[in-house]
A and B are shown apart, each in its own frame.
Chain A
Amino acid sequence: MNEKVIYVKNLVKKFGSFVANDNLSFEVSAGEIFGFLGANGAGKTTAIRILSGLSKPTSGEVNVAGYDAYRQTEQIKKNIGYMCQKFSLYEDLTVRENIILYGGIYGMSKSLIRERLADLLAKLHFQEYENRMISDLPLGLRQKLAFSVAVLHDPKIVFLDEPTGGVDPITRRQFWETIYETASRGITVFVTTHYMDEAEYCDRISIMNEGKIVALDTPEKLKKQYNAASVEEVFIKIARPN
């Protein structure tokens, strides 16, 4: 199949004696939309932090975009985009200033930044917001913008940790269209969500429970395997096995 951009084998992450990631193994290919599901506290955010070079694994093999997660975290960071629900944009800067700032951080040339900025504003119908402070934007718009900023530098992979948490249904759907569009450009999308309908939009999903990956396949196959009508049912069967 396709080129593998994430390769994880027997990944373990411990906090003290508590095992947050328990022997995870999976691979993700280029251009794939990979849904990373799991109950609260299952260890999704913990794993994403490791994959994006923000924290070190306790043991196991982790390779992201061709770089090793123990030693080459700087290279990893250059080649990925990262968006978490809480913080991604500076609230006291304008839309335009945020984009210029991030372009600068990733070492993009001035002309490229200007070009992308224009693209982005046009694509998101954002022109009227160009000089608005981030704190004045509604959450949905903010999240869309944060996502665009996360892929501004054309990373190989973008990690999205609950990007649509709390977002209204219309904006949520627009958000997923941007995700599709991004994946069609060959960027791998690694996304967590608690909206089970969104899980259906993914090419493949993994479902975690208490630190372990319990199931991993396409939504269709999982539904068949668990004899369920929706991913939500699969999820319930995994999270509450009795």
Chain B
Amino acid sequence: MINVVESSDIAKSFGPIMALDDISFSVNESEIFGFIGPDGAGKTTLFRIITTLLLPDKGNMKVLGMNATTHYKELRKNIGYMPGRFSLYQDLSVEENLNFYATVFGTTVEENYNLISDIYSHIEPFKKRLAGKLSGGMKQKLALSCALIHKPRLLILDEPTTGVDAVSRSEFWDMLNKLRQYNITIIVSTPYMDEAIRCDRVALIQNGKILSIDTPQKIRAGFSRKLFTVKAIEKYRLIKTLKKNPEVMTAYPFGDSIHVTLINDSSDNSLFEYLVKEGISDAVIQEAEAGIEDRFLELMEKA
């Protein structure tokens, strides 16, 4: 199996800011490889180096077996890229945008319609509408269709699902999964932790450094502490009260409950008593299995 992307010791700084620091990783063919990390972590910069848009200060970036610095012309024919910002022409209609990108990449919409139909069908009823008049999520769906339309060998998506609604997000990931059968390799960044699960491997990146690279399952298994979920009616009061307790190491809201870890893993009984003493008598405390988001929060806190 060849490595579609091979990055060794990539570094890049803008003035005094070190945007990327010794980034090394490799991506296999037909893999979905995720980058997860806060805004400003360096994801966009890294993606721009992979797509030949930026030159690294140091290190070597090999994409599809070619050097990204010297072979940018060939690479640009084989890469599909969706930048984080909207890459659409606001004054062209949905259909015109898609047709334009198809033509520029030397293909037609009909030829690769099957690749995009799952997502494009949501906005197709509005194909005569100008892109500038679409809602935020609709724009995102169109941008995605445009990036995919030429059936690239490597697809690079910078936060493609930001602003996309929950249902469409899951449909979008179904679609990415299907792309595997066309041997398309996908590199994707996302701020949604639940999406990390759907990647083959993920890299957690923060402050220009990769904190860990692994399969989502292994990353999740790295969570070492006992985790409790705490529920009560008055959520805001509950979280404030929990954070006051010196026994509590972290308390993060997760949907309708609070995920809590303790400094001393064996002291969960005293937690209930503490809450009752503080006037929260309806608390329900359960031990729970950690999700990948718990692990990421842990890693990010440490870093």
Contacts and interface: CB of A to CB of B under 8 A. Distances in A.
Q: Main SS of the interface on chain B?
A: helix
Interface stretch (B99-107, B251-259, B282-290): B251-259
B38 A40 contact: no
A130 interface: no
B168 interface: yes
Contact of B39 (A166, A184, A196, A231): A166
A22 interface: no
A41 B256 contact: no
B201 interface: no
A140 B140 CA distance: 20
B225 interface: no
Given A194-B165, A235-B166, A138 B38 contact: yes
Contacts of A240: 167
Interface string A178-211: 0011001000000000111100110000000000
B236 A140 contact: no
B39 A138 contact: yes
A162 B163 contact: yes
Nearest to A162: B163
B276 to A, nearest CB: 22
B297 A170 contact: yes
A42 B160 CA distance: 19
B165 A169 contact: no
A133 interface: no
A170 to B, nearest CB: 6
Contacts of B58: none
Size bracket, chain B contacts: 35 or more
Given A176-B253, A231-B255, A40 B37 contact: no
A53 interface: no
B191 A167 contact: yes
Contacts of B235: 180, 201
Interface residues of A, number: 41
B193 interface: yes
A169 B123 CA distance: 29
Contact of A45 (B37, B38, B136, B167): B136
A171 interface: yes
A239 B137 CA distance: 14
Given A138-B38, A166-B39, A236-B167, A197 B136 contact: no
B300 A168 contact: yes
Contact of A239 (B140, B167, B297): B167
Nearest to B84: A166
Interface string A88-121: 0000000000000000000000000000000000
A224 interface: no
Contacts of A60: none
A165 B195 CA distance: 14
Contact of B164 (A40, A180, A181, A220): A40
Interface string A44-56: 1100000000000
Contacts of B136: 40, 45, 85, 162, 165
A235 B133 contact: no
B170 to A, nearest CB: 8
A232 interface: yes
Interface string B260-303: 00000000000000000000000000000000010011001100
Interface string B163-199: 1111111100000000000000000000111000000
Given A194-B163, A194-B164, A201-B253, A140 B135 contact: no
A196 B253 contact: no
Contacts of B135: 40-42, 44-45
Interface in A152-170: 162, 165-170
B239 interface: yes
A219 interface: yes
Contacts of B37: 168
A6 B81 CA distance: 43
A7 to B, nearest CB: 25
B136 to A, nearest CB: 7
Contacts of B165: 38-40, 42, 194, 235, 239
Contacts of B252: 169, 173
Contact of A200 (B169, B193, B256): B256
A15 interface: yes
Interface of A: 15, 38-42, 44-45, 85, 138-140, 162, 165-171, 173, 176-177, 180-181, 184, 194-197, 200-201, 219-220, 230-232, 235-236, 239-240
5 contacts: A177-B236, A197-B253, A197-B255, A231-B255, A235-B166
Q: Which 5 pairs from chain A and chain B are nearest by CB?
A: A40-B137, A168-B38, A139-B39, A138-B40, A197-B255
